[in-house]
Amino acid sequence: MMSQMAPRSKAGEYLRPESQFRNLVLQSETLVNPSTDSANSSAEVYPAAAGRYRLVVGWGCPWAHRTLVTRALKGLEDAISVTFVAPSPEAGGWIFEQPEEGCQSLRDLYQLAQPDYTGRCTVPVLWDTQQQQIVNNESAEIIVILNEAFNQFAKQPELDLYPEDKREEINNWNEKIYHALNNGVYRCGFAQSQSAYETACNQLFQTLDEIDTVLEHQRYLCGNTVTLADVRLFPTLFRFDSVYYSLFKCNRRRIQDYPNLSGYLRDLYQLPGVAATCNLAAVKRDYYGNLFPLNPGGIIPLGPDLNLSEPHGRDSLHQSAQIPVLE
């Protein structure tokens, strides 16, 4: 069971498979001369349009959560709809709360797009309702698409979460955060050797310590403006004390125990629209109720008691910090 849920190396390290659908969405004026410097130059390109695309997400999934946060910060709720799936141990995968495109499960949707598909069926999915195709299922690329391609339909088009002058810094943080934190918690929880677990756990807390030190002097990871680096870190921090600390054995310290990370988490949570993307009850249900090898009894803990609406106290770091204000 663990080998299917968490593929591993010979050393017992958790290995995350790569996403398979990596197409792009571009603004109409960009379609004439699309950039050739994309990491996936062979990707098919789709035109941006309001009402054409849908995000398929699960409440518990941190990778899907980052797409919901980006959608909320940009104000794309009217342009891009959302459909939720939930994990089902009986079905062996994600199932729709209501049938979607005639599909009962996420695997059905993948096979509607590609009938011979036999790979992993993961969320998030950026779905083209017009052509009934999966545009992209790599969250790191979907959030860039949401930030750039739909500005003409966004309520916050001026909010650039991936500005050119900060991209190198954002990319450096993204690389570190992915390996040590986003995927690092899974490397701890799904490790199948003591040495693999200890390596992942040490890297995890070394990086949390580093970030806490950085946040002592600046409001966000790349200064005083929110960027995609913050968006990618937030879902992991949001789940940390309630899930990863205990279930994934990431139990040296809680986020609550960090003087700067704790306020930073509340700061991000309180940005307009972000709290609505957070469903802690569903997160706990999905993790504790469905990861049978880690929690055979399926018992969902009552705690911890978290109040992310408490004052974060980080306004004073920079009064001119770029905070989106939804109309």
Residue 318's pLDDT band, with cuts at 50, 70 and 90, is: low
Integer Cα distance of 97 and 248 in angstroms: 27
Residue-wise pLDDT for 138-153, tens only, equals 999 999 999 999 999 9
Residue 103: active-site member: no
Residue-wise pLDDT for 242-285, tens only, equals 999 999 999 999 999 999 999 999 999 999 999 999 999 999 99
| DSSP for residue 285 | H
**CB contact at 8 A, 108 and 95:** no
Identity (one letter) of the amino acid at 145?
A: I
Give all domains of the chain, ordered by start, each with its CATH number.
2-153 (3.40.30.10), 164-317 (1.20.1050.10)
Residue 89's pLDDT band, with cuts at 50, 70 and 90, is: confident
Whether 31 shows a pLDDT value over 90: the answer reads no
Tell me how crowded residue 185 is: count the other CB atoms within 10 A of its CB: 25
Tokens of 207: 């990086």
Cβ partners under 8 Å of residue 175, min gap 6: none
Chain Cα centroid distance, residue 292: 23
Residue 28's pLDDT band, with cuts at 50, 70 and 90, is: low
Catalytic residue among 14, 46, 61, 250: 61
Chain Cα centroid distance, residue 18: 15
Lowest-confidence segment of 47-51, 91-95, 272-276, 282-286 by average pLDDT: 91-95
Integer Cα distance of 97 and 87 in angstroms: 10
Residue 250: active-site member: no
Catalytic residue among 103, 117, 178, 186: 186
Strands 45-47 and 24-26: parallel
Q: What is the predicted pLDDT for the residue at 44?
A: 93
Packing angle, helices 228-239 and 280-290, rounded to 10 = 60
In percent, the amount of the chain with pLDDT more than 90 equals: 82
Backbone dihedral angles phi then psi of residue 136, each to the nearest 5 degrees: -160, 140
**CB contact at 8 A, 201 and 252:** yes
Integer Cα distance of 22 and 39 in angstroms: 10
Question: Sheet holding 81-88: strands in order across?
Answer: 103-105, 93-100, 81-88, 53-58, 125-128, 133-136
Whether 326 shows a pLDDT value over 70: the answer reads no
Integer Cα distance of 27 and 251 in angstroms: 45
Integer Cα distance of 132 and 120 in angstroms: 19
**CB contact at 8 A, 185 and 244:** yes
Tell me how crowded residue 70 is: count the other CB atoms within 10 A of its CB: 24
Output the CA–CA distances (angstroms, integers) from residue 166 to 43, 180, 226, 228, in the order listed: 25, 21, 11, 10
Q: How many CA atoms lie within 13 A of 226 on its CB side?
A: 25
Residue 1's pLDDT band, with cuts at 50, 70 and 90, is: very low
Q: Using alpha carbons only, how large is the chain's radius of gyration in Å?
A: 19
